[in-house]
């Protein structure tokens, strides 16, 4: 009975991880609502990818909120700090870290979920190939779920929120394999931190390196176009 289907809010950046989450949520039998945030990121091409993915599924609704985090400063993804092209150092937090980004994104998803009567939130973080961001770890997901259930009317009234991070323990190659099995068209996705005006990926930033290594390890060609030789 469609009237009894759970609703889920999926954070959809337009990258390969959130695209996989979108299809994963559908595979759970949920009514899927996609939320994208225009937060002043350099890679606005991602938001176009988000729209294409939301149409392809299709979702019940796709909400795009604008929140200009550039006013805060602090990251190469929103500032004029150059995006690094060297291989990432594994022991430190990179300059592409956006302060409190996933906390902000999940809090917005929580607000929309309350309005919709949804109790399932889905975010595509993962703790394996995660670039060293603190808000991509299991402890972060657990702490946010605890918060959601004391912060909200629904939580207080006994409708527990669940924060799903289905990619948390997946490598990039496992995400490629999982996404293909779920029917994701990775040609619609965009991962690059520094795409050109035509949306072509650089092939050199952390996000491109992780993505390319993932496809290579999964034994599948990456269907998007790169401007640098890969």
Per CB under 8 A, residues contacting a copy of itself are 63, 65-69, 71-74, 93, 97-104, 106-108, 110-115, 134-135, 137, 139-140, 143-144, 146-148, 150-153, 155-156
Closest to a copy of itself by CB, 28 or 152: 152
The residue among 109 and 188 lying less far from a copy of itself, judged by its C-beta, is 109
**How many Å apart are CA 12 and CA 64, to the nearest integer?**
10
The phi and psi torsions of 34 (rounded to 5 degrees) equal -105, 135
| DSSP per-residue string spanning 117-170 | T--EEE----SSS-TT-GGGSHHHHHHHHHHHHHHSHHHHTT---EEE-TTTT-
From the list 176, 169, 182, 125, the residue with the least C-alpha distance to 10 is 125
Q: Are 200 and 8 in contact (CB under 8 A)?
A: no
- CB of residue 40 vs a copy of itself: minimum separation in angstroms? 11
- CB of residue 3 to a copy of itself, shortest distance in Å: 21
> What gap in Å lies between CA 42 and CA 32, rounded to an integer?
27
- CB closer to a copy of itself, 55 vs 115: 115
What is the DSSP secondary structure assignment for residue 72, as one 8-state letter? T
Q: Closest Cα partner for 125 from 103, 148, 95?
A: 103
User: At closest approach, how far in Å is the CB of 67 from a copy of itself?
Assistant: 5
Give least dist CB 34 to a copy of itself, A.
Answer: 13
CA angle 41, 64, 16 (to 5 degrees): 60
CB of 187 to a copy of itself, least distance (A): 29
Residue 137 or 220 with smaller CB distance to a copy of itself: 137
Name which of 51 and 137 has its Cβ closer to a copy of itself.
137
């Amino acid at each position: 009975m469609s009237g009894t289907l759970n609703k889920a809010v999926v954070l959809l950046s337009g990258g390969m991880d959130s695209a996989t989450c979108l299809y994963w949520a559908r595979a759970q039998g949920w009514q899927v609502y996609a939320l994208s945030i225009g937060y002043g990121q350099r890679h606005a091409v991602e938001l176009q990818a988000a729209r294409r993915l939301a149409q392809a599924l299709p979702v019940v609704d796709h909400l795009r909120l604008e929140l200009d985090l550039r006013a805060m400063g602090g990251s190469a993804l929103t500032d004029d700090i150059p995006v690094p092209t060297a291989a990432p150092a594994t022991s430190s937090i990179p300059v592409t870290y956006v302060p409190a980004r996933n906390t902000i994104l999940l809090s917005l998803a929580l607000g929309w979920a309350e309005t919709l009567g949804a109790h399932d939130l889905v975010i595509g973080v993962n703790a394996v190939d995660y670039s060293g961001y603190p808000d991509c770890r299991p402890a972060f997901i657990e702490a946010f779920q605890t918060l959601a259930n004391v912060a909200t009317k629904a939580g207080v009234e006994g409708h527990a929120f669940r924060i799903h991070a289905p990619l948390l323990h997946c490598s990039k190659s496992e995400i490629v394999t999982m996404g293909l099995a779920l029917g994701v068209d990775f040609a619609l996705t965009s991962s690059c931190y520094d795409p050109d005006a035509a949306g072509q990926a650089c092939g050199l930033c952390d996000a491109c390196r992780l993505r390319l290594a993932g496809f290579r390890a999964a034994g599948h060609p990456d269907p998007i176009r790169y401007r640098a030789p890969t």
